[in-house]
């Protein structure tokens, strides 16, 4: 009985998330789901994570919705930690789709990767090889004045440093190029040193 009520609540909230009529309530629905998971710990991820992935995938063409659900997914992974491992391939597929679809979503995507990597710790290591090309592409191609995306990538690299050891030969040259580039804002260059 102790698990029955949360299971029913989660099921109903997931139905609401998939219904376009409840779009204006997505924030409240997501907050309710996260509150339930915080209190239950890592119970029931099999009911929520796959559906949240489906809903996020369905948001193609609506960047603000996609960003919102990616953030919720990252928050959920932070709660359930290693229980998210079975869903990492699907999560990375979502991230790859979001990455190629809309430039404005990239800062959110990098932030989500950072959160997921921090939540999984060393368990994130097998996924680093998939992640590095995205991060390096940003560092090598971001020519914006503020280099906000580059700064976010550097923060992500710092938080994942425990998993990067086998890939340092790939990561260090672009980071060193940032240090040498006088066009890059000083704050971003200092971030590269961190």
Percent share of the chain, pLDDT over 90:
51
DSSP string, 136-165: HHHHHH---SS-HHHHHHHHHHHHTGGG-G
Assess whether pLDDT exceeds 90 at residue 3: no
Domain map (residue ranges) of the chain: 4-193
Q: Judging by beta carbons within 10 Å of its beta carbon (0-12, 13-18, 19+), is residue 143 exposed, middle or buried? A: exposed
Give the pLDDT confidence score for residue 14 in this predicted structure. 87
Give the pLDDT confidence score for residue 113 in this predicted structure. 93
Range 89-110 average pLDDT: 87
Assess whether pLDDT exceeds 80 at residue 43: no
Q: Is the pTM of this model over 0.75?
A: yes
Decide which of 2 and 17 is more confident. Answer: 17
Long-range contacts (CB closer than 8 Å, 24 or more residues apart) made by 42-48: 42/79, 42/80, 42/81, 42/83, 43/3, 43/6, 44/3, 44/6, 44/7, 44/10, 45/76, 45/80, 45/83, 45/84, 45/87, 47/7, 47/10, 47/11, 47/14, 48/10, 48/14, 48/76
Confidence of residue 1 (pLDDT cuts 50, 70, 90): low
What pLDDT digit, counting tens, does each position of 67-85 carry?
Answer: 989 999 999 899 889 899 9
Confidence of residue 31 (pLDDT cuts 50, 70, 90): confident
Confidence of residue 149 (pLDDT cuts 50, 70, 90): very high
What pLDDT digit, counting tens, does each position of 105-147 carry?
Answer: 899 999 999 999 999 999 999 999 989 998 999 999 999 999 9
Range 51-70 average pLDDT: 86
Domain 4-193, second-level architecture: Alpha Horseshoe (1.25)
Per the prediction, the chain carries an average pLDDT of 89
């Amino acid at each position: 009985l102790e698990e029955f009520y949360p299971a029913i609540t989660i099921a109903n909230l997931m139905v609401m998330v998939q219904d376009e009529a409840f779009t204006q309530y997505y924030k409240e629905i997501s907050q309710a789901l996260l509150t339930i998971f915080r209190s239950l710990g890592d119970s029931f991820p099999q009911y929520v994570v796959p559906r949240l992935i489906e809903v996020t995938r369905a948001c193609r063409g609506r960047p603000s919705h996609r960003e919102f659900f990616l953030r919720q997914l990252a928050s959920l992974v932070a709660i359930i930690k290693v229980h998210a491992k079975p869903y990492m391939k699907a999560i990375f597929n979502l991230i790859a789709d979001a990455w190629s679809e809309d430039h404005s979503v990239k800062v959110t995507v990098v932030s989500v990767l950072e959160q997921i990597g921090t939540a999984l710790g060393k368990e994130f290591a097998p996924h680093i090889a998939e992640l590095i090309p995205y991060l390096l592409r940003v560092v090598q191609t971001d020519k914006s004045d503020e280099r906000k995306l580059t700064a976010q990538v550097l923060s992500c690299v710092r938080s994942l440093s425990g998993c990067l050891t086998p890939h340092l030969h790939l990561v260090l040259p672009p980071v060193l190029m940032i240090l040498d580039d006088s066009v890059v804002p000083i704050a971003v260059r200092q971030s590269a040193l961190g």
